[in-house]
Structure 1
Amino acid sequence: MLMIYTVYVLYAPAYDKHYTGFTANIELRLKSHNEFGKDWTARHRPWKLIYTRDFDNKVQAMDFEKWLKTGAGRDFIKTLPY
């Protein structure tokens, strides 16, 4: 069975904040950010999904997520439509 890993970018319009992560279940992860937990993302709800990119390899997904957190990656995120 092929596992798909999704790198995603969330945007919190009320706070003008972005969050970048990766997951094997984007629907559950988005629900988690918007409904569960008490971490940083809980303080900036609601989150809107503004970007996804799928990978069939966890290492590639992690590498792309890491790139999105660099200066060039943050510049790319700023070009995304909200």
Structure 2
Amino acid sequence: MDIFYIYAIKSEADGRIYVGFSADVEKRLKEYNAGKTKSTKGYKPWVLIYTEQVAGRIAARNKEKYYKSGIGKEFLKSL
């Protein structure tokens, strides 16, 4: 089973938090800060504030949805 990481990044420009999942978080963070992702391009630079390892794409997707929800977002804001 593949290993994925749920991550939360925070914009240093305006403080917004973005949640996603990837097999390679460091590579993904570099892509965000290089402006390669349309939805996050205008809010760089980004810093990593949270990671969590999970087994399998389905589990990763479910955790990502949780952290994008109200209670999950509140947890990330409290970090």
> TM-score when scaled to structure 1?
0.88
Q: How many residues align?
A: 79
Query: In the alignment, what sits opposite 2:19?
Result: 20
Mapped pair 1:57 → 2:73:
no
Query: In the alignment, what sits opposite 2:42?
Result: 43
Q: Which moved more, 1:37-46 or 1:61-70?
A: 37-46
Counterparts of 2:58 and 2:3, CA distance in 1: 12
Structure 1 unaligned segments of length 5 or more: list them.
none
Counterparts of 1:53 and 1:38, CA distance in 2: 22
Q: C-alpha displacement at 1:77, in angstroms?
A: 0.9
Change (3 A) 1:47 1:58: same
Q: C-alpha displacement at 1:53, in angstroms?
A: 0.2
Counterparts of 1:35 and 1:19, CA distance in 2: 16
Query: In the alignment, what sits opposite 1:7?
Result: 6
The question of whether the paired residues in 1 share the 8 Å contact of 2:35 and 2:44 is answered with no
Q: C-alpha displacement at 1:36, in angstroms?
A: 3.7
| 2:9 aligned counterpart, secondary structure | strand
Deviations 1:56-79 (A, max 9, x none): 111111100001111111111111
Change (3 A) 1:36 1:16: closer
Q: CA RMSD in A?
A: 1.2
Structure 1 vs Structure 2: percent identity of aligned residues? Answer: 35
| 1:59 aligned counterpart, secondary structure | helix
Q: C-alpha displacement at 1:13, in angstroms?
A: 2.2
